[in-house]
Amino acid sequence: MPPVSIVLKRILVSMLIGIAIGILINEVTYLFLRETARAPKVIELVIPAGTADSIAHGKTPPSIPDSMTFVVGDTLLVRNDDTADHELGPLWIPAGTSASLPLNSVQSYAYDCSFQKGNYFGLDVREPLTTSTRLYGILYSGLPLGILIALYAIILPAKKKNDPQKNVQP
């Protein structure tokens, strides 16, 4: 069994390696989730003039996405600049007016939609990604990994240092 100081060093180094790997994994994941790393806000969706005609001819309006991602607490404000009335799920938006939809719970919505070619509009509402969420992710992945590495480090035998007296030949 190695001395206590070597075991403590191995545990410390193992925990640091685990936390470093946790940071790497979680920050790479964060790069893909940046769109939800913000405070709730009002997001405006504009239905441009001529949308009803485009839909009637089987064309998709270029300025309207097929689906959108939001965070809990966002409000979707739909402004209808078209000459025709439109519908988005529970919203009825007469020509020249606006309507808003509060998004207060985590859910994926599939709404009937009159301003999309396929008559479908997807809304994905997620929890906002905060600094504390990121820190929890690092700790929840890094600490167990560090403990696992430390267990292996304790089990492995210590590298023996060469004793200069043993290598001397008469």
Domain membership flag for residue 167 = no
The tens digit of pLDDT for each residue in 9-18 reads: 888 999 999 9
DSSP three-state, residue 154: helix
- Within this chain, do residues 68 and 119 fall inside the same structural domain, yes or no? yes
Q: Which of 109, 126, 143 is the last residue of a domain?
A: 126
Residue 56 sits in a domain whose CATH number is 2.60.40.420
Domain membership flag for residue 163 = no
Domain range for residue 62?
38-126
CA distances from residue 94 to 7, 15, 58, 98 in whole angstroms, order as listed = 72, 60, 22, 8
Instruction: Retrieve residue 116's tokens.
Output: 């999309």
Exposed / middle / buried, residue 111 (Cβ in 10 Å: 0-12, 13-18, 19+): middle
Predicted structure pTM score: 0.66
- Within this chain, do residues 148 and 91 fall inside the same structural domain, yes or no? no
Q: What pLDDT does 107 receive?
A: 93
- Within this chain, do residues 117 and 55 fall inside the same structural domain, yes or no? yes
The tens digit of pLDDT for each residue in 55-89 reads: 888 887 777 887 899 999 999 999 999 999 999 99
The tens digit of pLDDT for each residue in 19-64 reads: 999 999 988 888 887 778 888 999 999 999 999 888 888 887 777 8
The tens digit of pLDDT for each residue in 111-144 reads: 999 988 888 889 999 998 888 888 988 899 999 9
Q: What pLDDT does 158 receive?
A: 61
- Within this chain, do residues 134 and 61 fall inside the same structural domain, yes or no? no
Q: Which of 126, 146, 165 is the last residue of a domain?
A: 126
Q: What pLDDT does 162 receive?
A: 63
